[in-house]
Structure 1
């Protein structure tokens, strides 16, 4: 009885937090738009965003990211070690990889069809396009600088394997850290001794402590969200949102079809689950992803939802969701592809079908290495733009609406990870009982 009461309290608190986050979103957006219309050029607005609302939002994200590395490492190590044997690890790992490639392929093909059918960037006057680029170019410089530092080709492949895991953690190199955790988990599977079991218990303790700390930090989410939305609305208002409404509409249409069309079919035919019940069960994780715009920050919530609401085997949910936070990013791949093709249309750069397919393939691979943090995909977009002859500084044109799109595609990414975990778990012949 007491455990049921505690569970009810936890669910009630989660629902309350969701409403608080929604309230923070609406309040921040309303105050920001009012400020933009009443005092668009006032000096105090810049002071408020620079010294009050901006730092508050950054503190919230920094607290989350401070805990992400220990969470990723402990969750992946424990998830692999709990599989018990390499044969089980190999089966789940291969199926997860194949699933990710196939579903990401579906996502980018869908994006390619929609953006060519609706052509959101067509019809813009070239002079207006250049004027907008001149105004937005300064805001794109930091992103371009980050993109220039991103390794490519063989260097990018070699960087996945860390020569110093502490250095990889310090650099926030998520993929390299995950490779280390993967090998460490395999080592715990191979070494079945009393000492290795003690080490596994320590990793489980690290995971539980990190989850608890992140739960405390999440309580600050409503305030942080209000600050994020105030900054966005106060700085950009409705002008850029109206100019790019067609582009935003195409992105949301593609994400919506992937979310409620493709995912529903996967759940029905591969996982044998009701899509309506699934979406109702994962709404807490979806809302958290939408609010924070970070797959990594949402990982603790997604892990709890997978175990408590979906009743998935813990060994599978921890493995698939931890991998998916960086690798299985359908929303990011779709956003990158649509953005590149939109800006190509915007600047009257004609891309052949072969070039467009190449862009989409790069987006699939880029989605694997994109950091699961807000705006983590923008350097990849800038790199692809330069590759196909579109002015890379054009990325500045979409900065005004990136936060909202980032929130939407992150919601798709996290929901897609939960769909993947559900499908992979359904394919296991004799999965162990889910944690209670």
Structure 2
């Protein structure tokens, strides 16, 4: 999906506009400038098109002296990432020196820039919005993010400014594998190493992220697409902005991939942000692999790898995800990364025959019956796999509401014991229906 970014100085209503366009209440809204510390993004659907919207409204500079530098750096990063830019100005306050500085940067943008005159909630303020044409940017739209007036015509203009939707080959079933993770964990180094080793690169495909490229290559005779999640090209002075846009690229890479390969810095260990990214990919039902990079820099004993994996699971990783210990610098086990990702991809596309599935389910039920529900005996009559990629299993029983999460996990573990599904999130659905006669 294309990326639309909201920029502007603090306290002009960027978070309110974000909430209005996404029809959500994700962004915290407050009269105090800089209240939103965790910037966010969401989807907007209008006129048959869908795009990602980024709220950069949570600017929290580290000091007052760095305030203008932080604003400028955020705008520069937005120019690097976005397809369309929404420059929000407060028509009640009018154009400030900081607005002028941001506008000066935006005049050099190759992307379309739409100027949003926010807080234009009456006729007088809508007339005052005409002042914004003096900024010398794109079209000016007077609207009110609070009550929604003027947003319809504005969204029409946003859709018109979006880039053309790329044609996607319907028969392109090449596995899409994304390297994800925090900045500086070695994603680009590992990708470059693998691409350099492979001489059978077929083509390059324009990616969804601005200026990114997905590489098509062959691995053991199988064609794959390596989804680009390379780091930002410019070194930002404001670290929080780089972290934010890196996470944005990660989110977009996860959306478009079949298997997400999470890279971890072996020296830093498995951190809370790693657990968050892994859980996000699991919630999207993507195949999962964890690669512990820079393993050559770790002093090792007999059980170092086992202890690392155990510590990671205590920090919130997922039991069914395989770990691989490698080094992009030395090439140690780097050639195993895509092999393991393809194994997970195949597991994700696996279909279990109904007869074998029910044998396993019946054995599991005999070993541990479901708890009763409101004094009623819960009976699972029949199970079948209703889809693959990602795998979904339907269980038909007399009281589906009586199946608790603990028993779902028990059944999922029995399915994994019997059929594998390493690195693959499973969906178990329970329905009120009898076994077919």
Q: Shorter-normalised TM-score: what interval?
A: under 0.3
State which structure, 1 or 2, has the greater radius of gyration over its C-alpha atoms. 2
- Higher share in helix: 1
The higher-RCO structure (CA 8 Å, 6+ apart) is 1
User: TM-score, normalised to structure 1's length?
Assistant: 0.21
Which structure has more strand as a fraction of its residues?
2
